[in-house]
Structure 1
């Protein structure tokens, strides 16, 4: 992309909908911009569930110690730390595992308290701290093995025996289940982040393409009219004293050219202001070629137009590109050529539209006030349709611009590339 054009059209542009609303984050992930908020609702619900569920678990395990105030405090702390699971996932998962281990060491019944470790592990894995999460779960498992098979003699309730090794299989299954669910959550989060990044890149590409299209449209619209105005202004100044009537004609031409330029610029800018509205005026095409010839004539350039082949209805994108290419080529003749005569060939072939603009030269070598983006803009228009532009001096001293625009590509890409020109 041309650097100057990028600087001139860097302003914000409306970006088409990219489907972000249909592809939001997973339900368990905080919404964008709320990642640092404390998850009060889910933590409160988990606290109530753990407190009530542990009571039922105590009734089902009469051999374990009865739930007292100390047990309730441990359960409350184990769920309360989960408030910080999005901010400090590593600290939270280790705290939940430690509080759960203290709860079990005190002889209280197994039950929903283990869910606090599962939630903490899930948050840590999803946040990318897999090693810390598995370390916390592994430490809890190792601590439970010590409690159930060695330290039980010195811990409450005091009359229980060593745990059965078959129970450890249940614990192992619980750990594997936590691992599987956590890893699935991590994969889902990574997929969502990747999709969001791809949508953002696609939106940025569309904005760049739209910015480039606007730059090209404004360049093509203004370059031709300003060139005519420049030539006529110079002619008017030269004839102001010697031939006032001819100077008046030049000023009339300037007025008409400036009015047309303002109208076309308004069309392009309306596209920025209301990108979702339907076009209210057709985009220019080769049917306006006589207007270009007339405008070139007012700038002192004689243009001969030759048409070969059977004219066919062109796709809108191809028709607009053809018009702009011929317009820019004639503008360059007015600006840079010493010749006052140009020839335009429009050849309709079966699979392509061929445009050729010749002038007899020589180049003036003078600074015509242009931006130097004319040929680049023509090549971009042709490339957008899968076509080519060849431009360069002829052996006889003139200059030739040849454009080949494939018709099939123009039909296939009309919806993508044909710019709208609203009025």
Structure 2
């Protein structure tokens, strides 16, 4: 895209051509009462376009020179017409580049000088109509310049708002990716740790059970690599933005957890992708916590599909053997689950329940439509 400063020479060339051609046409039409063009007149016709070239660097001095050239051209008796193009360009640029007072002062001075010139030199067109016509032309030029400024500022504001929204969405996407990575890593690494500890404990006395634990580790490590790849793919252009996991994979999740899990569903209905992903991650994190802090405990996972909300309830009855990872971790699992629920307008309550622990999330759902 060509910069504005790079466009100035082309605009100056176009302005010069139009000023000369229009002035030559005006010379023929006004030959009865205006002076013919001479070298001095052509020099004045080129002064304004030359100022356009360097106007961006010296806005006020170049505008003064361009208007001075117009005043000398008119007071020299040369024909009206093309000479006014340069000052119009200058007025638009002054207004759009935060030099509005200078633009209005030059417009007022020009109006006064043109009226004084017409009356002091007894021009045949002088009179009330001439004064109103000059005033209207200058006023309309300034109004058009102000409207162009307002439109430009509005476009710039919309662009800034769009950029800010883009930055906000990027920030939210990074937060979502971080949460996804946390859930994927926390669940699978905890599972791998627990199964590795189990395998080491059973290696000598119960090698077949140790083999099962090692097979679970292999599956979990493959799963974590696949899910991390799915999450990180959102960084690539054109990558799908669909959830990396859904409730259709709950049975697989339960099987890999190595826990005694009872999975029940009450009702069924289509779910928005965001709700399905959040529900899956909440169950995943809850199973991770159960494996870490309540090993040996049976876990109940219940999904209740209501007309207005999905209830996800995960509960255990307490540990039956020492917890392998009870002293590990940063404790971000429950806050992360609460953030997921809150992001969808839902709630999550987690706390002791009898001798065990229970997590209950309520995620709002859109009203079902019947066809």
TM-score (norm 2): 0.87
Q: What is the match of residue 416 of structure 1?
A: none
Larger mean Cα displacement after TM superposition, 255-264 or 241-250: 241-250
1:352-391 aligned within 5 A: 352-361=309-318, 366-370=326-330, 372-391=331-350
Question: Which residue does the alignment assign to 2:17?
Answer: 48
- Where 1:393 maps in the other structure, the secondary structure is strand
> How far apart in 2 are the matches of 1:318 and 1:126?
49
Q: Give the 3-state SS of the residue equivalent to 2:363 in structure 1.
A: strand
Contact 1:128 1:186 in 2 (8 A): no
Structure 1: give runs of 5+ residues left out of the alignment: 1-30, 153-158, 413-423
Q: CA deviation at 1:276?
A: 4.9
Are 2:300 and 2:316, in contact at CA under 8 Å, matched by a contact in 1?
yes
8 Å contact kept, 2:54–2:62: yes
Partner SS state of residue 357, structure 1: strand
Distance 1:172 1:295, change over 3 A: same
Structure 1 position 320 matched with structure 2 position 277: yes
Residues 118, 313 of structure 1: CA spacing in aligned structure 2 closer, same or farther, 3 A cutoff?
closer
2:5 to 36, 60, 63: 36
Q: CA offsets per residue over residues 214-238 of structure 1, 9 Å max, x none?
A: 2222222222111100112223334
Q: 1:66 aligns with which of 18, 30, 36?
A: 36
Assess if the C-alpha contact under 8 Å between 2:107 and 2:138 holds in 1: yes
1:169 corresponds to: 132
* 1:62-99 deviations in Å (ceiling 9; x for gaps): 32222110110011011221123444433332222121
The offset of 1:201, in angstroms, is: 1.9
User: 3-state DSSP class of the match of 2:350?
Assistant: strand
Q: How many residues align?
A: 365
Alpha carbons of structure 1 residues 55 and 313: separation in structure 2 relative to 1, 3 Å: closer
Residue of structure 1 in register with 2:306 after alignment: 349
- How far is the alpha carbon of 1:242 from its aligned partner? 5.4
Q: Paired residue for 2:290, among 330, 333, 342? A: 333
Greater mean alpha carbon deviation, residues 223-232 or residues 241-250 = 241-250
Aligned to 2:300, the other structure's residue is in SS state: strand
- Match for 2:113 among 143, 162, 171? 143
Q: Compute the displacement of 1:405 (Å).
A: 1.7
- State the partner residue of 2:227: 264
Q: TM-score, normalised by structure 1?
A: 0.77
Larger mean Cα displacement after TM superposition, 220-229 or 262-271: 262-271
Deviation at 1:244, TM superposition (A): 4.7
Q: Flag structure 2 segments of 5+ consecutive residues without an equivalent.
A: none
**Cα shift at 1:332:** 1.9
Residue 209 of structure 1 deviates from its aligned partner by 2.6
- CA displacement, residues 14-62 of structure 1 (integer Å, 9 cap, x when unaligned): xxxxxxxxxxxxxxxxx5x713324222221111110111122222223
Superposed CA RMSD in Å reads 2.9
Where 1:386 maps in the other structure, the secondary structure is coil
Q: CA deviation at 1:407?
A: 2.4
> Is residue 191 of structure 2 the alignment partner of residue 228 of structure 1?
yes
The structure with higher relative contact order (CA 8 Å, sep 6+) is: 1
Offset of residue 401 of structure 1 = 1.2
| 1:383-410 C-alpha deviation (Å, 9 max, x unpaired) | 343322122334x45332111122217x
Partner SS state of residue 42, structure 1: helix
